[in-house]
Structure formats: C-alpha cells, structure tokens
A and B are shown apart, each in its own frame.
Chain A
Amino acid sequence: GEDVEQSLFLSVREGDSSVINCTYTDSSSTYLYWYKQEPGAGLQLLTYIFSNMDMKQDQRLTVLLNKKDKHLSLRIADTQTGDSAIYFCAEHRGSTLGRLYFGRGTQLTVWP
C-alpha cells in the first residue's frame, strides 16, 4: 500500500522490553526514522537508520531493518514509565526529496 503502517497501541510492564513495529512502502527509501511524541510536545528524533544497514543500537534502543519485507522495528530495553509516549515511524522515500512519510503512531503505555 501507500501508507506507512504501525499498530496503534502497545502496553508493557516497567522493566520489560518493548518492540514497536512498522511497515514502510518504498523499497528505495534511503533513511528510516523513529520519532517520539510526549503529550503537548512536538516530535523528538529518537534514532534513524540508513537503508544499507540491518541494525543500529543506541543505548537502550535497537533498530532492526528488514529491507526485503520493508519492515522496521524499534526495541526499547528495560522500558521505563518515562518512555510512555507516541512513537512514529517515518521513511525518506528515494523518489521524493525532502518530506518524510509518517505512520499514524504507536501509543506506548508503560505500567509500573
């Protein structure tokens, strides 16, 4: 399809790992991004991965990229209540300069 797709909700217990999944659309996409949005705030860039990489790790965050299936995931280790937010997946399509195409966001709720 034409849309970047994400599941809308995820709930985890504090201390567990969270995995947020995303399916993007363009096999020629160059960069893929994860943004975090807390209530009343704008989008904060969490991490991004270039399309020639399979994995990127940054502290508690691990991004996995499966180009064959156009699947992107974000794993948050040792999830904390402060990680509760909406997480957006976005792609930078190779065919279109500039703009990012966003999924609808996954609301992550972390229970103490």
Chain B
Amino acid sequence: GAGVSQSPSNKVTEKGKDVELRCDPISGHTALYWYRQSLGQGLEFLIYFQGNSAPDKSGLPSDRFSAERTGGSVSTLTIQRTQQEDSAVYLCASSFDSRSPLHFGNGTRLTVT
C-alpha cells in the first residue's frame, strides 16, 4: 500500500513567516512522529502522537513549534515566525503501534531565507 506521504517536498520561506508541513501516515497506523534532520546532524525527535493519548511534545525546540493530528490520521507541523536555524529536513514517520518499526516519508526540506 501507500507509504507515508509528506507535502510539500520543498518549502522556501522568508524569515518571520509561518509555515505548515503536512504528513499523511500509512492507513491503520496509530502512531505518528515528527523528526528534524539538520545538515550534518542526526535525527532530532520533535513530537509523537499515539492514538487518542496526549502527544509527547518533549522534543519541540521552542513554543514557535506546534503540531496537530486530526481524526487520528493527518498531521500538520506548524512553525511560527520562522528563523534561519529552522532550516532543515522535517521527517514524518508512522507505525502500527508504539512498539512497531517506524516507516518514514521522504521529508519536507525547509529553507528559511
């Protein structure tokens, strides 16, 4: 079946603008994750949704970052007042449950000018 889908694949924005990144998980997967990958860095955990439970937001770097998951499916990561240090690839992943392997999308490359 279809994998994890992310849109847009690339986003260029001006410093100070808000951006929204979208993730469509694999159908039937109850868990959804956002990670960030900066140039030359590893994967930085941002946020994790599991079913109807309160999300684990412990990785969000500042209050400019927020995420929603509507109807237990699609998720949107919002970055307000973007800064140049927000430039990175934002990766979304989903898994069948919290103990199952993560399946990643191809990411959204965000460039803040």
Binding site for B on A (CB under 8 A): 30-31, 33, 35, 40-45, 48, 88, 92, 97-105
Contact = CB atoms under 8 A, between A and B. Distances in A.
A99 B103 CA distance: 12
B98 A97 contact: yes
A63 to B, nearest CB: 13
Interface residues of B, number: 24
B48 interface: yes
Interface of B: 4, 31, 33, 35, 41-43, 45, 48, 50, 56, 59, 91, 93, 95, 98-99, 101-107
Interface of B is mostly: strand
Given A30-B99, A42-B105, A45-B104, 9 more contacts: A33-B101, A40-B106, A88-B42, A97-B99, A98-B48, A98-B98, A99-B48, A99-B59, A104-B42
A92 B42 contact: no
B99 A100 contact: no
13 contacts: A42-B91, A42-B105, A43-B91, A43-B102, A45-B102, A88-B42, A88-B43, A98-B50, A99-B59, A100-B102, A101-B45, A102-B42, A104-B41
Contacts of B4: 42
Nearest to A104: B42
B31 A98 contact: yes
Contacts of A88: 42-43
A92 B35 CA distance: 15
B101 A45 contact: yes
Contacts of B95: 98
B68 to A, nearest CB: 17
A42 B107 contact: yes
B15 to A, nearest CB: 25
A91 B98 CA distance: 13
Contacts of B56: 98-99
